[in-house]
Copies of this chain bind each other. A is one copy, B any other.
Amino acid sequence: MTNAKVRVELTQNPKEKVPEDKLGFGTVFTDHLFLMDWDEENGWHDARVVPYNALQLDPSCGALHYGQAIFEGLKAYNNGGKVYLFRPQKNFERLNNSADRVCLPKLDEEFALEALKEFVTVDRSWVPTTPGTSLYLRPLMFNSEASLGVHPAKKVTYLVMASPSGAYFTGGLQPMRLYVEDEYVRAAVGGIGFAKTAGNYAASLKGQLKAQEFGCQQCLWLDAKEHRYVEEGGAMNVFFKINGEFYTPALTGSILPGVTRDSMLQLLRDRGEKVHEARLDVNELFKQAQNGELEEMFCTGTAAVVTPVGTLVRQNHETGQLEEVSINGGETGEYTRSLYEELTNLQLGKGEDKHGWLVEVCDAE
Protein backbone atom coordinates (compact mmCIF):
# COMPACT_ATOMS: atom_id res chain seq x y z
CA MET A 1 0.00 0.00 0.00
CA THR A 2 2.95 2.30 0.65
CA ASN A 3 3.41 2.99 -3.02
CA ALA A 4 -0.29 3.31 -3.72
CA LYS A 5 -1.27 6.38 -5.64
CA VAL A 6 -3.28 9.21 -4.18
CA ARG A 7 -5.73 10.58 -6.72
CA VAL A 8 -5.93 14.38 -6.60
CA GLU A 9 -8.96 16.35 -7.73
CA LEU A 10 -8.36 20.07 -7.22
CA THR A 11 -11.15 22.44 -6.29
CA GLN A 12 -12.50 24.74 -8.97
CA ASN A 13 -13.70 27.19 -6.32
CA PRO A 14 -10.90 28.06 -3.91
CA LYS A 15 -12.23 29.66 -0.72
CA GLU A 16 -11.27 33.11 0.41
CA LYS A 17 -8.79 32.89 3.27
CA VAL A 18 -9.58 34.25 6.72
CA PRO A 19 -6.99 36.83 7.93
CA GLU A 20 -4.50 35.17 10.26
CA ASP A 21 -5.35 37.42 13.18
CA LYS A 22 -9.00 36.33 12.90
CA LEU A 23 -8.33 32.59 13.08
CA GLY A 24 -9.82 30.74 16.02
CA PHE A 25 -9.86 26.97 16.39
CA GLY A 26 -11.63 24.38 14.29
CA THR A 27 -14.18 26.41 12.33
CA VAL A 28 -12.25 27.38 9.17
CA PHE A 29 -11.36 24.55 6.81
CA THR A 30 -9.07 24.38 3.79
CA ASP A 31 -10.03 23.76 0.17
CA HIS A 32 -9.61 19.99 0.25
CA LEU A 33 -10.20 16.77 2.15
CA PHE A 34 -8.22 13.56 2.09
CA LEU A 35 -10.49 10.50 1.89
CA MET A 36 -9.96 6.74 1.77
CA ASP A 37 -12.43 3.85 2.06
CA TRP A 38 -12.26 0.41 3.64
CA ASP A 39 -14.44 -2.62 3.35
CA GLU A 40 -13.94 -6.27 4.18
CA GLU A 41 -13.49 -7.31 0.57
CA ASN A 42 -11.14 -4.59 -0.68
CA GLY A 43 -9.33 -3.38 2.41
CA TRP A 44 -8.21 0.25 2.21
CA HIS A 45 -8.73 1.71 -1.25
CA ASP A 46 -9.41 4.82 -3.31
CA ALA A 47 -7.06 7.22 -1.52
CA ARG A 48 -7.90 10.65 -2.83
CA VAL A 49 -7.64 14.38 -2.23
CA VAL A 50 -10.93 16.03 -3.21
CA PRO A 51 -12.57 19.43 -2.83
CA TYR A 52 -13.85 20.02 0.73
CA ASN A 53 -17.50 19.05 0.76
CA ALA A 54 -20.26 17.67 2.98
CA LEU A 55 -20.24 13.93 3.63
CA GLN A 56 -23.26 11.97 2.47
CA LEU A 57 -24.04 9.51 5.26
CA ASP A 58 -26.92 7.12 5.62
CA PRO A 59 -28.96 8.00 8.73
CA SER A 60 -28.11 4.52 10.06
CA CYS A 61 -24.35 5.15 9.77
CA GLY A 62 -22.68 3.23 12.60
CA ALA A 63 -20.49 6.08 13.81
CA LEU A 64 -23.49 8.31 14.55
CA HIS A 65 -25.32 5.67 16.60
CA TYR A 66 -22.52 3.70 18.23
CA GLY A 67 -19.56 6.07 18.40
CA GLN A 68 -17.25 3.79 16.44
CA ALA A 69 -14.93 6.66 15.50
CA ILE A 70 -11.34 7.55 16.33
CA PHE A 71 -9.25 10.58 15.53
CA GLU A 72 -5.92 12.34 15.81
CA GLY A 73 -4.77 15.93 16.04
CA LEU A 74 -1.44 17.33 14.88
CA LYS A 75 -0.09 20.50 13.36
CA ALA A 76 1.81 21.64 10.28
CA TYR A 77 4.10 24.65 10.79
CA ASN A 78 5.61 27.08 8.35
CA ASN A 79 9.22 27.16 9.49
CA GLY A 80 10.98 29.79 7.44
CA GLY A 81 9.63 28.88 4.05
CA LYS A 82 9.21 25.16 4.54
CA VAL A 83 6.26 23.22 5.91
CA TYR A 84 6.98 20.73 8.69
CA LEU A 85 5.03 18.23 10.75
CA PHE A 86 5.98 17.44 14.34
CA ARG A 87 6.29 13.70 15.18
CA PRO A 88 3.40 12.60 12.91
CA GLN A 89 4.52 8.97 13.22
CA LYS A 90 3.38 9.03 16.86
CA ASN A 91 -0.10 10.07 15.78
CA PHE A 92 -0.49 7.21 13.33
CA GLU A 93 0.88 4.77 15.89
CA ARG A 94 -1.74 5.98 18.38
CA LEU A 95 -4.47 5.97 15.72
CA ASN A 96 -3.81 2.27 15.19
CA ASN A 97 -3.89 1.62 18.94
CA SER A 98 -7.23 3.41 19.08
CA ALA A 99 -8.45 1.37 16.08
CA ASP A 100 -7.66 -1.84 17.90
CA ARG A 101 -9.65 -0.82 21.00
CA VAL A 102 -12.85 -0.01 19.13
CA CYS A 103 -12.48 -2.71 16.44
CA LEU A 104 -11.71 -0.50 13.43
CA PRO A 105 -9.21 -1.59 10.73
CA LYS A 106 -5.60 -0.48 11.01
CA LEU A 107 -3.89 1.86 8.57
CA ASP A 108 -0.50 1.28 6.97
CA GLU A 109 1.27 3.94 9.04
CA GLU A 110 3.91 4.67 6.44
CA PHE A 111 1.32 5.16 3.72
CA ALA A 112 -0.86 7.27 6.00
CA LEU A 113 2.08 9.61 6.56
CA GLU A 114 2.90 9.84 2.85
CA ALA A 115 -0.75 10.54 2.07
CA LEU A 116 -0.87 13.19 4.79
CA LYS A 117 2.17 14.91 3.28
CA GLU A 118 0.56 14.84 -0.13
CA PHE A 119 -2.64 16.34 1.28
CA VAL A 120 -0.77 19.08 3.14
CA THR A 121 1.22 19.84 -0.01
CA VAL A 122 -2.01 20.40 -1.95
CA ASP A 123 -3.27 22.81 0.73
CA ARG A 124 0.13 24.31 1.60
CA SER A 125 -1.07 27.84 0.90
CA TRP A 126 -3.29 27.44 3.99
CA VAL A 127 -0.40 27.00 6.45
CA PRO A 128 -0.39 30.32 8.31
CA THR A 129 2.84 32.16 9.06
CA THR A 130 2.08 34.44 12.05
CA PRO A 131 3.93 33.26 15.18
CA GLY A 132 1.75 30.89 17.20
CA THR A 133 -0.45 29.92 14.25
CA SER A 134 -0.41 26.56 12.49
CA LEU A 135 -2.40 24.33 10.20
CA TYR A 136 -4.24 21.93 12.49
CA LEU A 137 -4.66 18.49 10.90
CA ARG A 138 -7.45 16.14 11.92
CA PRO A 139 -7.33 12.51 10.79
CA LEU A 140 -10.68 10.81 11.49
CA MET A 141 -11.70 7.17 10.97
CA PHE A 142 -15.30 6.08 11.41
CA ASN A 143 -17.87 3.36 10.81
CA SER A 144 -19.77 4.45 7.70
CA GLU A 145 -21.77 1.25 7.28
CA ALA A 146 -25.53 1.65 6.87
CA SER A 147 -26.74 -0.72 9.59
CA LEU A 148 -28.28 -0.48 13.03
CA GLY A 149 -26.64 -3.74 14.09
CA VAL A 150 -24.08 -3.31 16.90
CA HIS A 151 -20.98 -4.92 15.39
CA PRO A 152 -17.54 -3.86 14.13
CA ALA A 153 -17.86 -1.79 10.96
CA LYS A 154 -17.93 -3.58 7.64
CA LYS A 155 -17.49 -0.25 5.87
CA VAL A 156 -15.14 2.44 7.13
CA THR A 157 -14.17 5.95 6.05
CA TYR A 158 -10.82 7.54 6.81
CA LEU A 159 -10.44 11.24 6.18
CA VAL A 160 -8.08 14.06 7.01
CA MET A 161 -9.30 17.62 7.25
CA ALA A 162 -7.20 20.71 7.84
CA SER A 163 -8.01 23.88 9.73
CA PRO A 164 -5.76 26.94 9.95
CA SER A 165 -5.62 27.83 13.64
CA GLY A 166 -4.86 31.02 15.49
CA ALA A 167 -2.36 31.55 18.28
CA TYR A 168 -3.65 29.85 21.43
CA PHE A 169 -2.26 32.47 23.80
CA THR A 170 -2.50 35.95 22.40
CA GLY A 171 -1.33 37.69 25.58
CA GLY A 172 1.40 35.26 26.69
CA LEU A 173 0.93 32.12 28.81
CA GLN A 174 -2.23 32.31 30.94
CA PRO A 175 -2.37 30.18 34.10
CA MET A 176 -5.54 28.08 34.32
CA ARG A 177 -7.77 27.28 37.23
CA LEU A 178 -8.62 23.56 37.36
CA TYR A 179 -11.64 22.15 39.17
CA VAL A 180 -11.00 18.77 40.79
CA GLU A 181 -13.87 16.63 39.49
CA ASP A 182 -14.74 13.90 41.97
CA GLU A 183 -18.20 12.93 40.75
CA TYR A 184 -18.05 12.45 36.98
CA VAL A 185 -15.27 10.33 35.51
CA ARG A 186 -13.70 10.50 32.09
CA ALA A 187 -12.65 6.86 31.80
CA ALA A 188 -12.00 3.67 33.75
CA VAL A 189 -9.24 1.08 33.54
CA GLY A 190 -10.56 -1.57 31.11
CA GLY A 191 -12.49 1.12 29.25
CA ILE A 192 -11.60 3.30 26.27
CA GLY A 193 -9.70 6.13 28.00
CA PHE A 194 -6.34 5.41 26.35
CA ALA A 195 -7.91 5.53 22.88
CA LYS A 196 -8.59 8.79 21.08
CA THR A 197 -12.17 7.78 20.39
CA ALA A 198 -15.35 9.82 20.11
CA GLY A 199 -17.14 8.64 23.26
CA ASN A 200 -14.44 9.94 25.62
CA TYR A 201 -15.18 13.50 24.54
CA ALA A 202 -18.97 13.32 24.92
CA ALA A 203 -18.35 11.85 28.38
CA SER A 204 -16.17 14.82 29.33
CA LEU A 205 -18.57 17.67 28.48
CA LYS A 206 -20.60 17.57 31.69
CA GLY A 207 -17.51 17.85 33.89
CA GLN A 208 -16.23 20.64 31.70
CA LEU A 209 -19.45 22.65 32.17
CA LYS A 210 -19.34 22.04 35.91
CA ALA A 211 -15.75 23.32 36.06
CA GLN A 212 -16.86 26.49 34.28
CA GLU A 213 -19.69 26.98 36.79
CA PHE A 214 -17.04 26.97 39.50
CA GLY A 215 -15.01 29.60 37.67
CA CYS A 216 -12.44 27.18 36.26
CA GLN A 217 -11.29 26.69 32.67
CA GLN A 218 -10.97 22.91 32.83
CA CYS A 219 -11.46 20.05 35.22
CA LEU A 220 -8.83 17.81 36.71
CA TRP A 221 -10.03 14.24 36.17
CA LEU A 222 -9.52 11.60 38.85
CA ASP A 223 -9.47 7.82 38.55
CA ALA A 224 -12.80 5.97 38.30
CA LYS A 225 -12.06 3.55 41.13
CA GLU A 226 -11.18 5.73 44.09
CA HIS A 227 -11.78 9.27 42.77
CA ARG A 228 -8.41 10.11 44.25
CA TYR A 229 -5.60 9.74 41.71
CA VAL A 230 -5.00 12.39 39.06
CA GLU A 231 -5.57 11.37 35.45
CA GLU A 232 -5.85 14.32 33.04
CA GLY A 233 -6.40 18.08 33.09
CA GLY A 234 -9.31 18.82 30.75
CA ALA A 235 -8.29 17.13 27.50
CA MET A 236 -4.59 17.47 28.32
CA ASN A 237 -1.96 15.49 30.19
CA VAL A 238 -0.70 16.99 33.40
CA PHE A 239 2.75 17.52 34.95
CA PHE A 240 3.88 18.56 38.43
CA LYS A 241 7.21 19.94 39.66
CA ILE A 242 7.51 18.84 43.29
CA ASN A 243 10.65 19.51 45.32
CA GLY A 244 12.60 19.97 42.13
CA GLU A 245 11.52 16.71 40.49
CA PHE A 246 8.90 16.06 37.82
CA TYR A 247 5.80 13.89 38.01
CA THR A 248 3.08 12.90 35.57
CA PRO A 249 0.39 10.22 35.95
CA ALA A 250 1.52 6.82 34.70
CA LEU A 251 -0.33 5.41 31.67
CA THR A 252 -2.59 2.88 33.35
CA GLY A 253 -5.08 2.44 30.50
CA SER A 254 -7.51 5.22 31.31
CA ILE A 255 -5.22 8.10 30.31
CA LEU A 256 -4.56 9.34 26.78
CA PRO A 257 -0.88 8.82 25.88
CA GLY A 258 -0.29 12.34 24.59
CA VAL A 259 2.36 13.00 21.96
CA THR A 260 3.19 16.29 23.71
CA ARG A 261 3.36 14.36 27.00
CA ASP A 262 5.90 12.03 25.44
CA SER A 263 7.91 14.94 23.99
CA MET A 264 7.88 16.68 27.37
CA LEU A 265 9.16 13.58 29.16
CA GLN A 266 12.02 13.34 26.65
CA LEU A 267 12.82 17.02 26.93
CA LEU A 268 12.95 16.82 30.74
CA ARG A 269 15.20 13.75 30.59
CA ASP A 270 17.42 15.51 28.05
CA ARG A 271 17.78 18.31 30.59
CA GLY A 272 18.87 15.78 33.19
CA GLU A 273 15.78 16.19 35.36
CA LYS A 274 14.39 13.42 37.55
CA VAL A 275 11.09 12.36 36.03
CA HIS A 276 8.51 10.03 37.56
CA GLU A 277 5.48 8.43 35.89
CA ALA A 278 3.51 7.70 39.01
CA ARG A 279 0.18 7.46 40.80
CA LEU A 280 -0.55 10.94 42.16
CA ASP A 281 -2.95 11.38 45.07
CA VAL A 282 -4.90 14.62 44.77
CA ASN A 283 -5.04 15.02 48.56
CA GLU A 284 -1.24 14.92 48.73
CA LEU A 285 -1.03 17.45 45.91
CA PHE A 286 -3.26 19.87 47.80
CA LYS A 287 -0.99 19.56 50.85
CA GLN A 288 2.11 19.99 48.71
CA ALA A 289 0.60 23.06 47.08
CA GLN A 290 -0.21 24.51 50.49
CA ASN A 291 3.27 23.95 51.90
CA GLY A 292 5.01 25.05 48.72
CA GLU A 293 6.50 21.66 47.79
CA LEU A 294 4.36 21.64 44.64
CA GLU A 295 6.35 24.34 42.88
CA GLU A 296 4.82 24.35 39.41
CA MET A 297 2.08 22.57 37.50
CA PHE A 298 1.23 22.52 33.82
CA CYS A 299 -0.79 20.66 31.20
CA THR A 300 0.40 19.48 27.80
CA GLY A 301 -1.50 18.96 24.57
CA THR A 302 -1.31 19.56 20.86
CA ALA A 303 -3.51 22.66 20.85
CA ALA A 304 -1.75 24.82 23.47
CA VAL A 305 1.49 22.78 23.78
CA VAL A 306 2.03 23.83 27.43
CA THR A 307 -0.58 25.48 29.68
CA PRO A 308 0.39 26.53 33.21
CA VAL A 309 -1.95 25.73 36.10
CA GLY A 310 -2.12 28.45 38.74
CA THR A 311 -4.98 27.26 40.95
CA LEU A 312 -6.64 24.02 42.00
CA VAL A 313 -10.24 24.20 43.21
CA ARG A 314 -12.30 21.49 44.85
CA GLN A 315 -15.53 21.15 46.74
CA ASN A 316 -15.63 20.00 50.34
CA HIS A 317 -18.65 17.73 50.21
CA GLU A 318 -19.26 17.98 53.96
CA THR A 319 -19.56 21.75 54.03
CA GLY A 320 -20.39 22.41 50.36
CA GLN A 321 -17.65 25.05 50.37
CA LEU A 322 -15.03 25.44 47.68
CA GLU A 323 -11.40 25.10 48.71
CA GLU A 324 -8.66 26.45 46.54
CA VAL A 325 -4.89 26.37 46.56
CA SER A 326 -2.59 28.35 44.35
CA ILE A 327 0.60 27.05 42.83
CA ASN A 328 3.56 29.40 42.44
CA GLY A 329 1.33 32.21 43.69
CA GLY A 330 -1.11 31.55 40.86
CA GLU A 331 1.47 32.65 38.30
CA THR A 332 3.18 30.90 35.42
CA GLY A 333 6.29 29.19 36.75
CA GLU A 334 9.63 30.15 35.27
CA TYR A 335 10.52 26.53 34.65
CA THR A 336 7.16 25.94 32.92
CA ARG A 337 7.81 28.94 30.71
CA SER A 338 11.24 27.66 29.74
CA LEU A 339 9.73 24.27 28.79
CA TYR A 340 7.06 25.96 26.70
CA GLU A 341 9.69 28.00 24.90
CA GLU A 342 12.00 25.09 24.31
CA LEU A 343 9.25 22.87 22.92
CA THR A 344 7.60 25.51 20.72
CA ASN A 345 11.04 26.54 19.41
CA LEU A 346 11.74 22.93 18.53
CA GLN A 347 8.42 22.71 16.67
CA LEU A 348 9.32 25.86 14.77
CA GLY A 349 12.73 24.49 13.80
CA LYS A 350 14.58 26.94 16.01
CA GLY A 351 16.22 24.35 18.29
CA GLU A 352 18.49 21.41 17.64
CA ASP A 353 16.26 18.57 16.43
CA LYS A 354 18.30 15.87 18.14
CA HIS A 355 15.54 13.24 18.12
CA GLY A 356 14.51 13.81 14.50
CA TRP A 357 11.03 14.99 15.46
CA LEU A 358 10.54 17.35 12.50
CA VAL A 359 9.28 15.89 9.23
CA GLU A 360 9.62 18.10 6.18
CA VAL A 361 6.58 18.21 3.91
CA CYS A 362 7.18 20.75 1.16
CA ASP A 363 8.17 24.31 0.40
CA ALA A 364 5.65 26.83 1.67
CA GLU A 365 3.98 29.07 -0.86
Residues in chain A within 8 A of chain B (CB atoms): 25-27, 29, 33, 52, 54-61, 63-69, 71, 101-103, 136, 138, 140, 142, 146-152, 159, 161, 163, 183-192, 197-206, 208-209, 224-225, 227, 235
Contacts and interface: CB of A to CB of B under 8 A. Distances in A.
A235 B187 CA distance: 19
A67 B198 contact: yes
B59 A27 contact: no
Given A26-B149, A103-B205, A224-B190, A58 B54 contact: yes
Given A65-B71, A140-B65, A191-B188, A55 B57 contact: yes
Given A25-B148, A198-B67, A199-B67, A206 B33 contact: no
A68 B200 CA distance: 10
Contacts of A71: 65
A156 to B, nearest CB: 12
Contacts of A55: 56-59, 61
Given A26-B148, A55-B59, A209-B152, A192 B198 contact: no
Nearest to A192: B203
Contacts of A140: 59, 64-65
The 6 closest A-B pairs by CB, nearest first: A199-B199, A26-B148, A67-B198, A188-B188, A66-B201, A185-B190
A161 to B, nearest CB: 5
A303 to B, nearest CB: 10
Contacts of A101: 206
A60 to B, nearest CB: 6
A146 B27 contact: yes
Nearest to A159: B59
Contact of A64 (B33, B58, B142, B188): B142
Contacts of A63: 63-64, 198
- Most chain B CB within 10 A, of A26, A65, A186, A204, is at A65
Contacts of A161: 59-60
Contact of A189 (B136, B203, B224): B224
B142 A201 contact: no
Contact of A190 (B54, B163, B205, B227): B227
A160 to B, nearest CB: 9
Nearest to A226: B225
A198 B56 contact: no
Contacts of A136: 148
A146 B186 CA distance: 24
Given A66-B201, A67-B197, 13 more contacts: A54-B57, A60-B161, A64-B140, A64-B142, A67-B67, A67-B203, A68-B205, A102-B203, A185-B190, A187-B191, A192-B203, A198-B198, A198-B202
A248 to B, nearest CB: 21
A206 B194 CA distance: 14
